């Protein structure tokens, strides 16, 4: 059986499959299509990729059952009814929910080697940690996987080139050409079924995903590092790879992606500060997030350590419902493409949910429904842990809360905004700036125990206009709830 996120012939259950003896089963369940308020571009990508995979399996000589059924169990049972109760094998589930489903159906599993780190190996590392510092895990990964190392030492003498990166958006910069994907018959049929006009941004085949990888290596890898934290109005993806959807559904394997980046470094086509930064995202962050999802367990997703219970703000579901240029622009980008890069996800969307106290599970649901690359294993730690600090600091020791000054430095949104990032009180005050201080004030006691928050709390204690700021914060929160701020 090939789940919709195991679309790979060389890994997972398909690696040992034989066209002479094995049947390939994919289930497109009605529940998957209509169970939530999914972004149509995301559904389009998932369904069209699965249908293309089914076609590729037929071309390889497999008999394929691509079943449309009310639920996945219904689909599997209908295949058994037709072919007899066959031994059914899948790659290890990629979420707790999927694992339960496989268990209930008696589906056997093989290791999910669409990741680079077996779950047991990660758990062995995590069990020995006092705090789960990603950088420590990453350095072990570099040595274990033999990437950018000479023996157990990093090439060019450093593990991490972050200090050379993090540049603000450049002026008068020429951005590389964009790769667009032509839509074929399968794509058009899926789009028509969903009542959606698909963009030409996302590939839905292995060949298209490989083209996207090559395009990234040729045009964007060299510039990736220095600008990885910036956002600009001139180009929505900057030098980001746009590869996450393909890696997450199995159309690309993480090993081939990092090998391609290291090969470009070996050929002298990209500097270490970019190649290292990119390799860290894949063998560090991505593997760490997946490992932590399983290590932290199923209840982790329900965390609400800051007791945040505000309803999802209207701007998340309608970009016109805010005058905050950064928020409205980023939500509008999500509406158009089901994607924004890491910094808008963290420092605009999650930051807004965090400092306004939106309920973490409502925000998690919204993120999961709206991103092209969303899966439970990747959204849960990124949102609950990194994004809104709902886990009491188990993943990240301090919350990623920021005011307008950070957004003003790293993006160009403030120039076109009705608010002033430098002001924290008054009608023109930037809501991020006001709410950042208000957030610290509201959680002063909880953060007092956290030595990493000492500097911020000292800053809070120095504010002379705190009473005024509290009044303005209450106004801003009310305005955001009404979609007026
Ligand atoms: C609140 C929040 C939610 C996120 N949700 C998702 C999600 O649902 N799916 C998802 O794949 N990524 C998620 N990320 C991580 C990251 O934002 C995306 O992987 C990235 O923006 C995808 O674009 P890209 O392929 O151009 O990435 P690049 O910037 O080019 O990075 C290269 C690759 O590194 C990997 N990567 C980098 N950071 C992470 C991370 N924190 N977790 C997992 N993989 C990472 C991805 O595979 C990505 O393709 C989230 C981050 C945050 C802060
Ligand atoms: S001023 Fe504040 S609300 Fe406006 S774009 Fe800047 S950070 Fe966002």
Please state the domain extents for the chain. Answer: 12-110, 119-176+220-296, 302-481
Does 363 sit in the ligand 1 pocket, CB within 6 Å? no
Does 244 sit in the ligand 1 pocket, CB within 6 Å? yes
The gap from C-alpha 52 to its chain's centroid, in whole angstroms, comes to 24
State the Cα torsion 423-425-428-431 to the nearest 10°: 80
Calculate how far, in angstroms, residue 382's C-alpha sits from the geometric centre of ligand 1.
9
| Ligand 1 probe mutation, 38, 244, 344, most atoms within 8 A of CB | 244
**In the CATH scheme, what is the code of domain 302-481?**
1.10.579.10
Threshold 0.85, pTM exceeds? yes
Q: How many other C-beta atoms can be found within 10 angstroms of the C-beta atom of residue 50?
A: 25
From the list 333, 244, 233, 224, the residue with the least C-alpha distance to 289 is: 244
Q: Look at residue 233 in the predicted model and tell me its pLDDT.
A: 86
H helices present in 129-253, as ranges: 134-145, 185-194, 206-219, 221-224, 244-249
**pLDDT tens digits along 295-347:** 999 999 999 999 999 999 999 999 999 999 999 999 999 999 999 999 999 99
Q: Look at residue 280 in the predicted model and tell me its pLDDT.
A: 97
Residues 75 and 29 sit within 8 Å (Cβ to Cβ): yes
For domain 119-176+220-296, which CATH number applies: 3.30.70.3270, 1.10.10.10, 2.40.50.140, 1.25.40.80? 1.25.40.80
Question: For the chain, how many helices (H) and strands (E)?
Answer: 24, 6
For 24, the 3-state DSSP assignment is strand
For residue 416, which atom of ligand 2 is closest to its CA? 5
For residue 349, which atom of ligand 1 is closest to its CA? 1
Residues 109 and 31 sit within 8 Å (Cβ to Cβ): no
Mean per-residue pLDDT of the chain: 96
Architecture of domain 12-110: 3-Layer(aba) Sandwich (3.40)
Q: Look at residue 1 in the predicted model and tell me its pLDDT.
A: 72
Closest residue CA from atom 1 of ligand 2: 421
Sign for the pseudo-dihedral over CA of 414, 419, 425, 431: negative
Calculate how far, in angstroms, residue 447's C-alpha sits from the geometric centre of ligand 1.
28
For 396, the 3-state DSSP assignment is coil
CA–CA dist 70, 76 (Å, integer): 11
Closest residue CA from atom 7 of ligand 2: 404
Does 220 sit in the ligand 1 pocket, CB within 6 Å? no
Calculate how far, in angstroms, residue 445's C-alpha sits from the geometric centre of ligand 2.
28
Contacts of 351 (CB under 8 A, 6+ apart): 400, 401, 402, 432
Contacts of 19 (CB under 8 A, 6+ apart): 60, 61, 62, 63
CA–CA dist 244, 256 (Å, integer): 13
Residues 189 and 38 sit within 8 Å (Cβ to Cβ): no
Does 325 sit in the ligand 2 pocket, CB within 6 Å? yes
For residue 375, which atom of ligand 1 is closest to its CA? 8
Closest residue CA from atom 3 of ligand 2: 324
| Ligand number, closest to the Cα atom of 327 | 2
| Ligand 2 probe mutation, 344, 421, 424, most atoms within 8 A of CB | 421
Percent helix / strand / coil, the chain, rounded to 5: 55, 5, 40
CA–CA dist 293, 395 (Å, integer): 10
Contacts of 322 (CB under 8 A, 6+ apart): 313, 314, 315, 328, 331, 480, 483, 485
Q: Could you give the angle at which helices 272-279 and 254-266 cross, rounded to 10 degrees? A: 170
State the Cα torsion 48-50-51-54 to the nearest 10°: 160
Calculate how far, in angstroms, residue 431's C-alpha sits from the geometric centre of ligand 2.
7
Q: Any idea what DSSP says for residue 48?
A: H
From the list 194, 162, 253, the residue with the least C-alpha distance to 32 is: 194
Closest residue CA from atom 45 of ligand 1: 286
Does 414 sit in the ligand 2 pocket, CB within 6 Å? yes
From the list 146, 481, 466, 121, the residue with the least C-alpha distance to 294 is: 121
| Ligand 1 probe mutation, 382, 400, 402, most atoms within 8 A of CB | 382
For residue 432, which atom of ligand 2 is closest to its CA? 2
Q: What is the mean pLDDT of each run of 10 residues along the chain (485 residues)?
A: 90 96 95 91 98 98 96 94 92 95 94 96 96 96 98 95 87 94 98 97 98 98 94 92 98 98 98 97 98 97 97 98 97 98 97 98 98 97 98 93 95 94 97 98 94 94 96 97 95
- The backbone region for 148, taken as left when phi is positive above 0, alpha when psi lies in -120 to 50, beta otherwise, is left
Does 364 sit in the ligand 2 pocket, CB within 6 Å? no
For 438, the 3-state DSSP assignment is helix
Calculate how far, in angstroms, residue 350's C-alpha sits from the geometric centre of ligand 2.
15
Does 421 sit in the ligand 2 pocket, CB within 6 Å? yes
Calculate how far, in angstroms, residue 239's C-alpha sits from the geometric centre of ligand 1.
14
Q: Look at residue 378 in the predicted model and tell me its pLDDT.
A: 98
CA–CA dist 413, 469 (Å, integer): 23
Label residue 363 exposed, middle or buried (CB < 10 Å: 0-12, 13-18, 19+).
Answer: buried
Q: Tokens 């994607």 label which residue?
A: 339
Calculate how far, in angstroms, residue 440's C-alpha sits from the geometric centre of ligand 1.
27
Residues 205 and 52 sit within 8 Å (Cβ to Cβ): yes
Does 366 sit in the ligand 1 pocket, CB within 6 Å? no
Q: In this structure, what token pair is assigned to residue 32?
A: 């998957």
The gap from C-alpha 197 to its chain's centroid, in whole angstroms, comes to 23
Q: Any idea what DSSP says for residue 65?
A: E
Q: In this structure, what token pair is assigned to residue 386?
A: 């990194």
Does 286 sit in the ligand 1 pocket, CB within 6 Å? yes
| Ligand 2 probe mutation, 322, 333, 401, 419, most atoms within 8 A of CB | 419
Closest residue CA from atom 5 of ligand 2: 414
| Ligand 1 probe mutation, 134, 178, 246, 281, most atoms within 8 A of CB | 281
Residues 156 and 277 sit within 8 Å (Cβ to Cβ): no
């Amino acid at each position: 059986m090939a789940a919709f996120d195991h679309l790979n012939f060389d890994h997972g259950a398909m690696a040992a499959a034989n066209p002479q003896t094995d049947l390939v089963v994919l289930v497109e369940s009605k529940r998957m299509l209509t169970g939530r308020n999914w972004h149509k571009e995301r559904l389009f990508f998932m369904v069209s990729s699965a249908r293309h995979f089914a076609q590729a399996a037929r071309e390889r000589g497999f008999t394929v059952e691509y079943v449309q059924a009310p639920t996945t169990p219904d689909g599997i049972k209908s295949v058994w009814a037709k072919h007899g109760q066959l031994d059914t094998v899948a790659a290890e589930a990629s979420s707790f929910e999927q694992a339960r489903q496989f268990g209930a159906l008696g589906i056997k599993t093989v290791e999910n080697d669409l990741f680079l780190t077996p779950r047991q190996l990660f758990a062995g590392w995590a069990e020995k940690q006092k705090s789960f510092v990603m950088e420590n895990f990453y350095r072990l990964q570099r040595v274990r996987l033999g990437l950018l190392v000479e023996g157990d030492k990093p090439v060019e003498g450093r593990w991490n080139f972050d200090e050379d990166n993090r540049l603000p958006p450049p002026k008068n910069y020429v951005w590389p050409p964009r790769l667009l994907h032509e839509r074929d018959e399968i794509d058009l049929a899926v789009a028509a079924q969903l009542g959606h006009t698909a963009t030409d941004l996302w590939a839905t085949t292995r060949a298209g995903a490989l083209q996207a990888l090559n395009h990234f290596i040729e045009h964007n890898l060299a510039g990736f590092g220095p600008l990885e934290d910036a956002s600009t109005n001139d180009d929505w993806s900057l030098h980001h790879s746009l590869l996450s959807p393909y890696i997450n559904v199995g159309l690309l394997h993480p090993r081939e992606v990092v090998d391609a980046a290291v090969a470009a470094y070996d050929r002298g086509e990209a500097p270490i500060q970019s190649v290292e930064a990119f390799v860290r995202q894949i063998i560090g962050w991505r593997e760490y997030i997946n490992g932590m999802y399983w290590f932290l367990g199923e209840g982790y997703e329900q965390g609400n350590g800051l007791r945040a219970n505000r309803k999802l703000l209207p701007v998340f579901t309608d970009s016109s419902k805010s005058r905050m240029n950064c928020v409205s622009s980023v939500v509008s980008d999500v509406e158009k493409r089901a994607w924004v890069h890491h910094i808008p996800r963290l420092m605009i969307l999650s930051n807004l949910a965090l400092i306004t106290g939106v309920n973490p599970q409502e925000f998690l649901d919204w993120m999961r429904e709206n991103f092209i690359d969303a899966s439970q294993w990747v959204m849960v730690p990124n949102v609950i842990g990194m994004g809104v600090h709902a886990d009491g600091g188990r993943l990240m020791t301090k919350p990623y809360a920021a005011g307008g000054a950070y957004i003003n430095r790293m993006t160009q949104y403030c120039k076109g905004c009705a608010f002033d990032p430098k002001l924290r009180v008054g009608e023109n005050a930037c809501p991020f700036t006001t709410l950042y201080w208000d957030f610290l004030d509201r959680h002063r006691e909880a953060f007092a125990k956290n030595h990493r928050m000492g500097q911020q709390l000292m800053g809070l204690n120095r504010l002379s206009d705190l009473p005024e700021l509290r009044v303005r914060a209450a106004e801003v929160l009310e305005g955001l709830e009404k979609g007026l701020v």
